[in-house]
Chains A and B, each alone.
Chain A
């Protein structure tokens, strides 16, 4: 964190959320990693000891939220950071907890959406959960606000004894800005003597629902005077831009480019329940209103409803409902400039000064750069083996995929055929593995990573066994959560004090698959034999591959210089006629030299794992 003045620091939105949690007096954090939310928890973890806070990586987001509720019931303030998809997993519990209440401690959920899906398998707006669960929601727009909303959210949660949601997006969580800090008070967290009574909704959930709606009504009134909401109060403005979250900054910048016009820009931070009184004040005297928010028209639709009720229909509204703002993808200043221009009836030229022709010419030079497995990543080896099996089966193989670094299999000759939510590889295989009775001819493989296994695979694996699905289940066990930055999980070899290492083998074994073996992902011929053997058998076959994440290995300081170098034996190489190593295996340490018609090993890139040696059918890649 970069210091400015005494208490001003440059920090990311995620670091600011963590700082806000400490200033608020949070004592408990349970979370599961996911971009772009991960650093909230890692920051808290790095400061946990100093501030006496308990922080854990839970097995999944539902467990994390349940653990946080437990803490809050017991009087300890809790925070539960997660990515958008995580809230889907936790939502079943959330839509019960809202009615039961979160008790005296206080519970803040931070959900980080990822417009455009930079690091996600979908694009979603998680704000509908605040509507579905009738819970209050904040949307900070700067790193400063990210810090400032957490104590406010915690106060509301304590006062009304319900969870409070804070919504972030990638561009807030992962951007850095100056934040003015408050003191972190010295606190000794002590639990309540008991938990509240009646932490269940039966026999009258509908009455609990009514109580919650009453609370929400009170909160809407409170929100109408919240100092977090603001407007530029531009004199004489007849156009109002209502913006939420990071989009507010795009709106401010866009409005400054129209300085001859008078535009008022409002920042709505409390986006559920809608502060009706405040909004009516903002809308008074306006001729037109533009809504700017990331992903869904969440505030837009609520305001349109409000105006229909109160007959403010003389105002002309612009936003996603009429196509002024795009309904998919991520916003930026340029898109907002365009939207402002359209809503005030101006024609703006593109801000840039290049001609479309120049740009077209330039674009023609570019080659796409999809993410790839790192050099030496053993996930590549396993998919290589799977590709070989697919060839042997004349393509009659379906690989149901899952979420992790190994999802890159979709870019690896389509070695992985499907990819939805965590755990859905083995889940969808439960269906695919029953289709032989209807004449489905393909063999079915489901793949998963180890962190994914603990997160969501176990119920589906039990289902597969119980129903006799014909599936080969492959776990690529690299002992870490690689994709999101190497967080430990129950099976990791290095564990924090007081946490025990679980055995993935024993868990799989307890489900009693019809065939179970451990393989070595570093050994390609072995992996091919093992998978081939397994897919020939009937029933549920489980294979766990010892796998290596090379980035994790580097982090732990493993050196490879003393391993034998790999060299190219030019006499054996068949050149362009074969080219399997470079054109098909695609290790970033192998380059094709057109002039010599042979592969070249890029010494600065190669980690000497030797995987390519087995890939060459002509014995041209060798240990030196």
Chain B
């Protein structure tokens, strides 16, 4: 076994592009010599439900689900789903990058339930994960949203976090190989990667 497999978990809501983000990272992993295993949930849960994509990069076929606490990088495409995934799979070794995007549920749209406050979610994430990076609402992030490539913005940021085990150059190459058209995705990827330099990890105020 590789001394340390790289475990990446992508959390989001159906339609946010987590499957494509997973494919990009897995393609990059192949080019770097790993034997990736990708576990996905799809089918009925895709109608607006939570979606988790498990990426496990090693040199043997690991199980398709990341064990509890073993996530190295959490890519949170949606705020509350990031916390849901952290609760079920993350721990002190986890570095989480979290989008500020909220997708409401039927109950939070109607006001029957309250969508949790961003601060509370981040505090809670920080109490579970080793490091949490909450993405600022920079114009680049809005641009990624507008070009429907928020997933690649986060992949860029995460590629920076995982640089040692998976060079971001290879991830970028994977985007040009499998995403069409690649341009908006590459731009979002570059912006996400650049954002890592200016984003400090979240410190709870309490």
Contact = CB atoms under 8 A, between A and B. Distances in A.
Contact of B92 (A4, A350, A353): A353
A334 B63 contact: no
B68 A350 contact: yes
Interface residues of B, number: 62
Interface stretch (B38-46, B150-158, B183-191): B38-46
Contact of A365 (B65, B83, B109, B111): B83
Interface stretch (A277-285, A301-309, A356-364, A438-446): A356-364
B80 A118 contact: no
Given A118-B43, A174-B39, A586-B106, A594 B111 contact: yes
Contacts of B69: 350-354
B116 interface: yes
Nearest to A589: B109
Contacts of B110: 579, 582-583, 586, 592
Contacts of B62: 249, 253
B80 A366 contact: yes
Interface stretch (B121-129, B131-139, B192-200): B121-129
Contact of B23 (A2, A36, A368): A2
Interface string B69-105: 1100000000011011011001110000000000011
Given A118-B43, A175-B39, A365-B116, A592 B109 contact: yes
B16 to A, nearest CB: 12
B106 A372 contact: yes
A340 interface: no
B27 interface: yes
A171 B39 contact: yes
B40 A174 contact: yes
A367 B116 contact: yes
Contacts of B67: 253, 332-334, 337, 351
Contacts of A176: 26, 36-38, 40
Contacts of A2: 23, 26-27, 30, 178
Interface of A: 2-4, 10, 35-36, 118-119, 142-144, 170-172, 174-178, 246, 249-250, 252-253, 256, 332-334, 337, 350-354, 358-359, 361-363, 365-374, 405, 408, 483-484, 579, 582-583, 586, 588, 590-592, 594
A246 B63 contact: yes
B47 interface: yes
Nearest to B35: A178
A365 B70 CA distance: 23
Contacts of B27: 2, 10
Contacts of A171: 39, 63-65
B50 interface: yes
Nearest to A375: B48
Nearest to A583: B110
A546 to B, nearest CB: 21
Given A35-B42, A178-B35, 16 more contacts: A2-B178, A118-B41, A118-B45, A142-B61, A171-B65, A174-B43, A249-B64, A354-B127, A359-B87, A361-B124, A362-B125, A366-B83, A366-B84, A372-B47, A579-B110, A591-B109
B127 A362 contact: yes
Contacts of B43: 35-36, 118-119, 174, 484
A131 to B, nearest CB: 27
A-B pairs, 3 with minimum CB distance:
A352-B69, A119-B43, A35-B43
Contacts of A369: 13, 48-50, 80-81, 105
Interface string B143-186: 00000000000000000000000000000000000100000000
Nearest to B29: A10
Contacts of A371: 14, 44-49
A359 B124 CA distance: 9
B71 to A, nearest CB: 10
B116 A370 contact: no
Given A176-B36, A353-B69, A354-B128, A367 B80 contact: yes
